Amino acid sequence: MIRFAIVMCCLLPLTMTSTTLADEAGATSWKDVYNSGQKAMDDGDYAKALEILAQSEKSATSAAGKAPAANGQGLALLRSRKYAEAIPHFERALKHDSNYLISRKNLGYAHVKMYALGLADKSVLEKAVEVLSSVPEGEASSLGEAKALLDLETKWAAAAASPAEPAGKTWRELADEGNAAESEGRFDHALKCFVACQAISKTSPSKAAACNLQGLTLMKARKFEEAMGHLEEACKTGSSNKTFLGNMGLCHLRLYEKNAEGDHLTPALEALRKVKEMDPSYKPESLALAEEYAAKAGMGKAEEKDAEPAAEAPAAK
């Protein structure tokens, strides 16, 4: 299954001084207002940060001030998991300063994230590649991912047409045919095979496995809402299967990142933590990310992990 890397963005103060919103009446420069926005960002009040950073951008008189303030607004929206809304702010930052590297990296990341969560088609990957191509080699963490996903899309588009409806085959034959179809991006046919697997299953474990395969196929097709029902069904029967639980937890996490309706962070944590209890060596990126989201939401301390490089907004000169 495709794994989508996550880059957690952050905002650094332009000076060592932070002020509160109440202090803004006496603020003498856009930097003071900017640092108030950074304080709100650190406090997790992204709506407040967005408002303050908009004021900072408006009061700044040079590109050196306007670009980081516009970028900061984009970061506040990324942290709010509002990726489409964040993009215009990064684009505006680049209009202020076309050489503002951080906004270029953040813009590329936002485009890739939109695709990964099923919020946009492959055109956003093409935009990401265009935006990130001018970033120095080794600094554009999302560029390789965007190119790899585009290559997959190309491979899927060139795949042969699916054969006739699956029938008269064994469970294993259907599963193998479905896995082959999934690897070529023929998700509709893969689903037909796995549905057929479920229909001929004679044991609870084989039925749960078929449900899990359906869920995984839909996740790969970035249809996380549709995938959830199948993964939940798999876990009802295979509640002791760490693979099923891990997949369900990951799906909940993707729905949380999409700002999907309902509480998805809590069940994501429950499922992924349960897997870790079952297997202490289990330390996937999905659990580390869920723990970090939980910490930012005040739901508990994030576990120690190897973090991805953060996109930062350095001090403007």
Tens of pLDDT along 253-304? 999 999 888 899 999 999 999 999 999 888 778 999 999 999 888 875 444 3
Q: The domain containing residue 123 runs over which residues?
A: 27-156
**Please, which residues have CB within 8 angstroms of residue 256's CB and are 6 or more apart in sequence?**
81, 264, 265, 268, 293
Q: Are residues 33 and 123 in the same domain?
A: yes
Is residue 171 one of the residues assigned to a domain?
no
Distance between CA atoms of residues 32 and 13, nearest Å: 10
Q: Are residues 44 and 149 in the same domain?
A: yes
Residue 19 sits at φ, ψ, to 5 deg, of -120, 165
Distance between CA atoms of residues 227 and 213, nearest Å: 10
Could you tell me the pLDDT band of residue 308, with boundaries at 50, 70 and 90? Answer: very low
Q: Are residues 234 and 120 in the same domain?
A: no
Is residue 196 one of the residues assigned to a domain?
no
Is residue 48 one of the residues assigned to a domain?
yes
DSSP 19: -
Is 40 within 8 Å of 294 (Cβ atoms)? no
Q: Are residues 124 and 215 in the same domain?
A: no
Average pLDDT over residues 111-139: 92
Is residue 206 one of the residues assigned to a domain?
yes
Q: What pLDDT sits at residue 280?
A: 87
Q: Are residues 138 and 66 in the same domain?
A: yes
Distance between CA atoms of residues 123 and 126, nearest Å: 5
Q: What pLDDT sits at residue 136?
A: 86
Q: Are residues 274 and 219 in the same domain?
A: yes
Q: Are residues 135 and 65 in the same domain?
A: yes
Q: Are residues 48 and 150 in the same domain?
A: yes
**Cα angle value 312/56/42 (rounded, 5°):** 45
Average pLDDT over residues 7-24: 35
Is residue 1 one of the residues assigned to a domain?
no
Is residue 277 one of the residues assigned to a domain?
yes
Q: Are residues 284 and 213 in the same domain?
A: yes
State the CATH number of the domain containing residue 121: 1.25.40.10
Average pLDDT over residues 198-208: 93
Q: Are residues 152 and 205 in the same domain?
A: no
User: Helices 242-257 & 204-220, crossing angle to 10 degrees?
Assistant: 30
Q: What pLDDT sits at residue 239?
A: 75
Work out how many domains the chain is built from and give that number. Answer: 2
Q: Are residues 215 and 275 in the same domain?
A: yes
Is residue 31 one of the residues assigned to a domain?
yes
- Is the pLDDT score of 306 beyond 70? no
Query: What percentage of the chain carries pLDDT values higher than 90?
Result: 64
**Count of beta carbons in the 10 Å neighbourhood of residue 291:** 21
Q: What pLDDT sits at residue 155?
A: 87
Q: What pLDDT sits at residue 168?
A: 80
Q: Are residues 44 and 105 in the same domain?
A: yes
Is residue 228 one of the residues assigned to a domain?
yes
Could you tell me the pLDDT band of residue 105, with boundaries at 50, 70 and 90? Answer: very high
For the chain, the average pLDDT equals: 84
- Is the pLDDT score of 117 beyond 50? yes
